[in-house]
Structure 1
Amino acid sequence: MVRLPEYDDMDAIDIAQAIANKELSVDDVVDAAIERMDKRNGHINAVVTPMISRWKDDFKQAPQDSVLYGVPFLLKDLVAAYEGVPFSCGSRVLVDYIPDHDSEMVKRFKQAGLVHLGKTNTPEFGLMGVTEPELFGPTRNPWNLDHTPGGSSGGSGAAVASRIVPVASAGDGGGSIRIPASCCGLFGLKPSRGRTPTGPDQGQLWQGAAVEHVLSRSVRDSALMLDLTAGSDHGAHFPIAKPEISYLKATKDAPRKLRIAFSTKNPTGGKVHPECVRAIEETARLLVSLGHEVEEAQPEYDAQKLYQCYLSMNLGETAASIGHIEEELGRPLKPGQDIEVMTAMLAKLGKAYSAKEFAQALHAWNLYARALGEFHKTYDLYMTPTMADLPAKVGELMPSPVEKIVLRGLYKLPVAGLLKRAGIFEQLAFRQLEKLPFTQLANLTGQPAMSVPAHWADNGLPVGVQFMAPMGDETTLFQLAAQLEAELKWQAHKPAWIEH
């Protein structure tokens, strides 16, 4: 018999209120979460570092008057450092690394009263749009176990979608909150640059492209979590003004009449799956019925150049991260042993980019932000599919065995510039970008963006719709999301197998 059958349908706020009203105890809900982890995680491989044995001792420090006191929670095993818990980032080289302090976001999660039950799977160093690290193996989509939950927050997405926890931490440097939200039928908002803290070990995440938040089933949970974690920490690069009212309160108010632009065109020139187009068309009709003005339009920017800017940042950051680990260890990392061959290739390619090229790419980020600023003079929001395709099958977007052999051979070339000119990596990267082309823009401009689970394809897989707002305007996104949630009632959808 399933313990607390109502748990599957409760969001974090429901659980916290039931505990506060003494309708449920913390032990009740934590036991329910652990039971589901025991029964369901074997199917999806979402939780890779359980913290069950220590939760009671750790939870003694939680403020009893905290807003989410006793709510079960999971941490993405990337960026979110938790004192005394392994912090692998999905990599063999870090599998035994245990931090001696909490990251600032983890401190704020603890202050919120959350019960940390484990850490979730992520691709090595969060570098892929799917969650298939060699260290822990692939995470699977609860809606169809043959498919990916996306990445890099795929473990968190799968855990929330399978009702192990109502909310889990996530991060987004190129779509890593929004892509799993789309794949897993969840709500996922990437906050504005600087909205949530990055300290004490990071000044900027990926030059400011990456930001932490959560994946959730309900809009209000995401809004409350941002209320509880937002705000700069000491030495922050991008402190931004707080909203006039709390995000949670904002979700209770209908948005003003919005002017919304939309596009279903793939910026890479590739195809967009008919179900993704259908999701936009259905959502556009719904928005019009709700009183909003919707028309087809898109901002003017060079998409190919944007992807090159994104890739150069990704490569440079990977090279810097691997270089730092090598300095700490006092030896070079071995591809295929310490780190995956793909990661080693990224790091080596990162060395082939000059300081001039890196600076030029960063300059372009500001031009994209200016272009979107002009666009938002006319349109309040920009709507696109979150993804250009349905969730890929597990293994589909990873290098094939033959490609790995080729990559190992290329890695041995003595000059990194030769690798850059060979173009092999760009071909592999484009294979992902062609299917995931819509999310990187908001990362480079720093704007908030969200994916809402607006549609389910005929084969049962979820399809997300993305909205981008002007810098700092999470409030409008939350208000619109709450309005859409009331109409679409997506929380009623759940994978059938989890009830057995």
Structure 2
Amino acid sequence: MKLQEYAAYDATELAELVRGRDVTAVELIRLAREAHDRINPTINAVIELYDDAESVPGSDDGPFAGVPFLRKDISSTEAGRLYECGSRLYRGYRPTVDSYFVERARAGGLRLIGRTTTTELGVSGLSETVMCGITRNPWNLDRTAGGSSSGSGAAVAAGIVPMASASDGGGSTRIPASYCGLVGLNPSRGRISGGPNGQDPGHGMSRRFVLCRTIRDAAAALDVLSGSYPGDPFLIPQPKRAYVEELSQPAGRLKVGVALSSWAEVKLDPEIRDRVAETAKALEEMGHVVEEIGPPFSASEYRELITGSYYVGYSRLEAQARALGRKLDQTTLELLNLVIYEKAKTLPLSYAEKVFELMRKIRFDVGSAVQAYDLLLTPTMAHTALPHDTYSMNLGSMPADKLLTFDAAICQYIGVFSATGQPSISLPLFDSADGLPIGIQIVGRFADEATVLRVARDLEQAIPWASRRPPVFAGTSE
């Protein structure tokens, strides 16, 4: 197999070739390394490609048998491998346990061959850190790949691997999906375990999954990675059938609420609004009932929830630094994270209760506003990929409070569904006039990934994206 062929296939087809003995897992890993060596110096998506990648374990007959896979360097751990969270605080740290996500990925046949860049501690929707440098978007090197699953988004878009791990506490899977032209599903809360040492990440806000290029890969990955374990805090209804099987089922006639207005302070780009309207028309032509909806929550309460969640979460940093034998200062943390930590120390215990009450209220408000709909259709982001210098974790052009407010506002259509726990998927349906991807989001009822995937399949067929490739791509002939 040549590199151009490898980069063109999705994970499902590569696995079929491995099972059919047309190619071996080792050959695929060598091709991934070739793609990495060719592309990564330009985009800086992979922070480490394992020296022993050709001998990593993985099932030989799972749905993704032999497929190279990269791990976002936060959220999921591999025993004995570096886990540095994009931060100097964790430099050199090697956990002693595999996360359940990693165990299930290997059982499904994926070969974990390296780590991708992430923003420090998963903060920021951009893609630059002191520790990792700038991760560049393969569609335009001057634009961000999105955060915090920065490297995973850039690596999959550029064809280094067909799939990579991601996690999403306020949009961190769907932002790079939208900016890099990928499929980015954030499953329902409780669908994928965060265990054994992170069963309740972000107090229910954060979920793990993957970035990929096709709906069938997303469905198969959901089958592979889903599962509950002792200690998981959320019980969720189980699917009626495998998600891959759902792709052969009709979507039925659905009622869809469509967002065509801004939901927060950052205004919706008119070009993106037009693409949402175009998607709504496509759904109507499929027989669905579509009607416009307004913002289902208070923008000020949403902003306070997102920023408050940072402060509540950062109260744990001191104990983590102590366990690592390090101190918290500008030698270990970027300035934004240090400012968040310092403020978190001054807040009373009652502040956490206030944040949790805001989360409860927003869940109720959104649930009440959208209960009549089977699905929601929204922009993923209010704009296309931002320039790298839009703001900085070093707070050079924007103070911390303003930065957090802006970061929440640019995630106005996605962070709220991290809070509600509903499944949501960003689809790479369109490109902008200047050649940047435009992501469109489909949001389902809680625990109903099946309907989301069936409609996503229909849109993939109606507005196909498989042939679109970024200028920086491993499969492009030199």
Shift of 1:239: 2.1
- Counterparts of 1:91-490 in structure 2, within 5 Å, are 91-298=87-294, 300-320=296-316, 322-330=317-325, 332-335=327-330, 337-399=331-393, 402-403=396-397, 424-490=399-465
Q: CA deviation at 1:348?
A: 1.2
Distance 1:267 1:354, change over 3 A: farther
The answer to whether the 8 Å contact 1:316/1:351 transfers is: no
Which deviates more, 450-459 or 18-27?
18-27
Q: SS state of the match for residue 454, structure 1? A: strand
Q: Distance in 2 between matches of 1:496 and 1:458?
A: 15
Question: Structure 1: how far apart are the matches of 2:60 and 2:324?
Answer: 42
| C-alpha distance in structure 1 between counterparts of 2:397 and 2:110, whole Å | 43
Query: Shift of residue 236 of structure 1?
Result: 0.4
The code of the aligned residue for 2:425 comes to M
Amino acid at match of 1:168: A
Tell me the distance in 2 between the aligned counterparts of 1:350 and 1:291.
Answer: 50
Of residues 302-311 and 34-43 in structure 1, the stretch that sits farther from structure 2 once superposed is 302-311
Identical residues among aligned pairs (%): 33
Question: What is the distance in 2 between the residues matched to 1:300 and 1:208?
Answer: 20
Shift of 1:487: 1.4
Q: Distance in 1 between matches of 2:371 and 2:386?
A: 36
How many angstroms apart in 2 are the aligned matches of 1:373 and 1:431?
Answer: 25
Mapped contact 1:453–1:490 kept (Cα < 8 A): yes
Q: Counterparts of 1:329 and 1:71 in 2: how far apart (Å)?
A: 34
After TM superposition, give the deviation of residue 146 of structure 1 in Å: 0.5
Is the contact between residue 263 and residue 295 of structure 2 (CA under 8 Å) also seen in structure 1? no
Alignment partners' CA distance in 2, 1:340 and 1:289: 49
Give the Cα–Cα distance (whole angstroms) in 2 for the partners of residues 331 and 285 of structure 1.
55
* SS state at 1:395 partner: helix
1:37 aligned partner: 36
Give the conservation status (yes or no) of the 8 Å contact 1:231–1:242. Answer: no
Q: How many Å separate the matches in 2 of 1:255 and 1:375?
A: 23
Closer/same/farther in 2, CA of residues 25 and 237 from structure 1, 3 Å limit: same
SS at match of 2:401: helix
Rounded to whole Å, the distance in 2 between the matches of 1:303 and 1:403 is 24
Quote how far apart the aligned CAs of 1:387 are: 0.7
Residue in structure 1 matched with residue 11 of structure 2 by the alignment: 12
CA shift at 1:401, angstroms? Answer: 6.4
Paired position in structure 1 for 2:53: 55
Q: CA deviation at 1:400?
A: 6.3
For 1:489 and 1:68, the matched residues in 2 are separated by 23
Structure 1 residue 491: Cα displacement = 1.4
Q: Indicate how the Cα distance of structure 1 residues 257 and 356 shifts in structure 2: closer, same or farther if over 3 A, else same.
A: same
Distance across 2 between alignment mates of 1:329 and 1:212: 24
Aligned partner of 1:411 in structure 2 is none
Q: CA deviation at 1:83?
A: 1.3
Amino acid at match of 1:58: V
Q: TM (normalized to structure 2)?
A: 0.96
Cα deviation 1:68-87 (Å, max 9, x = unaligned): 11001000000111112111
Q: Deviations over 1:24-55 (max 9, x none)?
A: 1222222211110110111110000111x222
Q: Is the 8 A contact 2:162 2:212 kept in 1?
A: yes
Alignment of 1:491 onto 2:461: no
Query: Is contact 1:187–1:219 with CA below 8 Å preserved after alignment?
Result: yes
Question: Structure 1 136/251 Cα, relative in aligned 2: closer, same or farther at 3 Å?
Answer: same
Q: Indicate if the aligned counterparts of 1:312 and 1:353 stay in contact, CA closer than 8 A.
A: no
Specify the alignment match of 1:27 in structure 2.
Answer: 26
Give the Cα separation in 2 of the matches to 1:475 and 1:329: 42
What's the CA shift for 1:233?
Answer: 1.5
Structure 2: distance between partners of 1:332 and 1:115: 35
Residues 383 and 466, structure 1, Cα contact 8 Å, conserved in 2: yes
Q: Counterparts of 2:372 and 2:395 in 1: how far apart (Å)?
A: 49
Other structure's SS at 1:99 match: coil
Following the alignment from structure 2 to structure 1, what is the Cα–Cα distance between the partners of residues 296 and 382? 19
Local SS of the residue matching 1:323: helix
Paired residues, what number?
475
**1:299·1:371 contact (CA, 8 Å) conserved in 2?**
no
Q: Distance in 1 between matches of 2:63 and 2:185?
A: 20
Which structure 2 segments of 5+ residues have no match?
none
Equivalent-residue separation in structure 1 for 2:12 and 2:275 (angstroms): 29
Label 1:472 to 1:299 Cα distance change in 2 as closer, same or farther (>3 A): farther
Q: Which moved more, 1:228-237 or 1:347-356?
A: 347-356
Contact kept in structure 2, 1:310 and 1:444, CA below 8 Å = no
* Residue pair 1:49, 1:86 contacting (<8 A) in 2 also: no
Question: Separation in 2 of the partners of 1:429 and 1:229?
Answer: 32
Q: Give 1:88's aligned amino acid.
A: E
Q: State the 1:295 CA deviation.
A: 1.1
Residues 98/381 of structure 1: CA separation in 2 closer, same or farther (3 Å cut):
same
Alpha-carbon distance in structure 1 between the residues aligned to 2:206 and 2:394: 28
Q: Distance in 2 between matches of 1:334 and 1:173?
A: 25
Q: Hey, what's the Cα distance between the residues in 2 that align with 1:281 and 1:36?
A: 37
Q: Distance in 1 between matches of 2:295 and 2:375?
A: 11
Structure-2 residue corresponding to 1:70:
66
Mapped to 1, the partners of 2:396 and 2:296 lie a distance apart of 39
C-alpha RMSD over aligned residues: 1.6
Q: TM-score, normalised by structure 1?
A: 0.92
